[in-house]
């Protein structure tokens, strides 16, 4: 019996390692192919929210290598400056952009403070952007809160809906003028496949009647998609495009609020190593939508693994998208 159990475990481990090796090779080829043109984003300014860790950090690194000027919009300035220092050492090992033959024309990195759980912080950030930045070529709405205990933002909104949807809704609207004057420009919204388990309950958007952290996260991700599609409709004819993506299952600190029993952690770590994407792999679709000529002029679409994917009908409901937009305008104070 013991021998049989050991053999089964070894077989399972071998299968995991084999699958991991296959995925690693495939992802490496994809990244190498995509990163071929080191000057693709030269002269372009990109704003990434939540760029100090996880997907945002990996996206920033890739776009820096493509020559972009990257603005990191982060809640914790100290952590953002630390991450920026690490990124500079990774991307510019010789000491700085254009400082050596291996720099490849890599871009510039700027840190700005942005707390998406505070509408006043969003407004102050956008005011600073409009005063200091002559152009904005790409906005990547990446920052997010994942399945946290019930808590509220500074303005009294449920945290996941407030940060993942409302904070980015206000940010995007306040920067639309700059994006339009910089056209052709792009907006990239990071959602999740978990949108499938969410719904928009207009009677309880703030989750005050009931709260389930998983369902509320899915609701915020569904709101991201509905927002993208409605914004694409409103931006027709402006040369500003907006698309939404899911990155897949990625190994990041986004799941810090999820409790994994101590005895299960070794197995979970093994499975996540074998089957979850690295942040660099997960960032590829965001980089693709921000930079690739293949999606020039494409707007209002949903992408995964750098390919367009179909949405469930509830994510394409135009009447729900318009109603959510109208209510969101009131919630963030665009309309009184």
Q: Are 137 and 186 in contact (CB under 8 A)?
A: yes
Distance of CA 303 to the CA centre of its chain: 12
Query: Helix, strand or coil for residue 303?
Result: strand
Say how far apart CA 187 and CA 176 lie, in whole Å.
10
CB 185 within 8 A of CB 212: no
Host H or E run for residue 79: helix 77-91
β-strand partners of 322: none
In sequence order, the 6+-apart residues with CB closer than 8 A to the CB of 327 are 202, 205
Q: Is 299 left (phi over 0), alpha (psi -120 to 50) or beta?
A: beta
Q: Which of 195, 217, 288, 302 is catalytic?
A: 217
Residues in a beta bridge with 157? none
**Strands 240-246 vs 185-190: parallel, antiparallel or unpaired:** parallel
Report residue 27: phi and psi, to 5°: -70, -35
Tell me the sheet residues that pair with 221.
none
Give DSSP secondary structure letters for 202-237: TT-TT--S---HHHHHHHHHHHHHHHHHHHHHHTTT
Structure-token match 């009931």, residue found: 210
> Measured between alpha carbons, how far is 157 from 14 in angstroms, rounded to an integer?
47
Annotated catalytic residue 150? no
Just list the catalytic residues: 217
């Amino acid at each position: 019996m013991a021998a049989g159990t050991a053999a089964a475990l070894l077989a399972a481990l071998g299968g995991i390692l084999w699958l991991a090796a296959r995925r690693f090779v495939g992802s490496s080829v994809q990244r190498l192919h995509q990163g071929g043109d080191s000057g693709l984003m030269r002269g372009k300014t990109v704003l990434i929210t939540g760029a100090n860790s996880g997907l945002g950090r990996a996206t920033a690194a890739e776009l820096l290598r493509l020559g972009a000027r990257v603005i990191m919009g982060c809640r914790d300035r100290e952590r953002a400056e630390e991450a920026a220092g690490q990124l500079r050492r990774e991307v510019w090992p010789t000491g700085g952009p254009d400082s050596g033959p291996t720099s490849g024309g890599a871009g510039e990195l700027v840190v700005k403070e942005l707390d998406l759980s505070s509408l006043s912080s969003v407004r102050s950030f956008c005011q600073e952007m409009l005063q200091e930045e002559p152009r904005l070529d790409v906005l990547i709405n990446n920052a997010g809160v994942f399945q946290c205990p019930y808590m509220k933002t500074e303005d009294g909104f449920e945290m996941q809906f407030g940060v993942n949807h409302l904070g980015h809704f206000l940010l995007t609207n306040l920067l639309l003028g700059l994006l339009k004057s910089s056209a052709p420009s792009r907006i990239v919204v990071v959602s999740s496949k978990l949108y499938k388990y969410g719904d928009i309950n207009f009677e309880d958007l703030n989750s005050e009647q009931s709260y389930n952290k998983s369902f509320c996260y899915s609701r915020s991700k569904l709101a991201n998609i509905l927002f993208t599609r409605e914004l694409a409709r409103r931006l027709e004819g402006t040369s500003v495009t907006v698309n939404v993506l899911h990155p897949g299952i990625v190994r990041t600190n986004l799941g810090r609020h999820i409790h994994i029993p101590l005895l299960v952690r070794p197995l979970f770590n093994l499975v996540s190593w074998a089957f979850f994407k690295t942040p660099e792999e997960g960032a590829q679709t965001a980089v693709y939508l921000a930079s690739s000529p293949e999606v020039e002029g494409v707007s209002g679409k949903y992408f995964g693994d750098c390919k367009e994917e179909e949405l469930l009908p509830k994510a394409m409901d135009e009447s729900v998208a318009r109603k959510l937009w109208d209510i969101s305008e009131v919630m963030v104070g665009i309309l009184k």
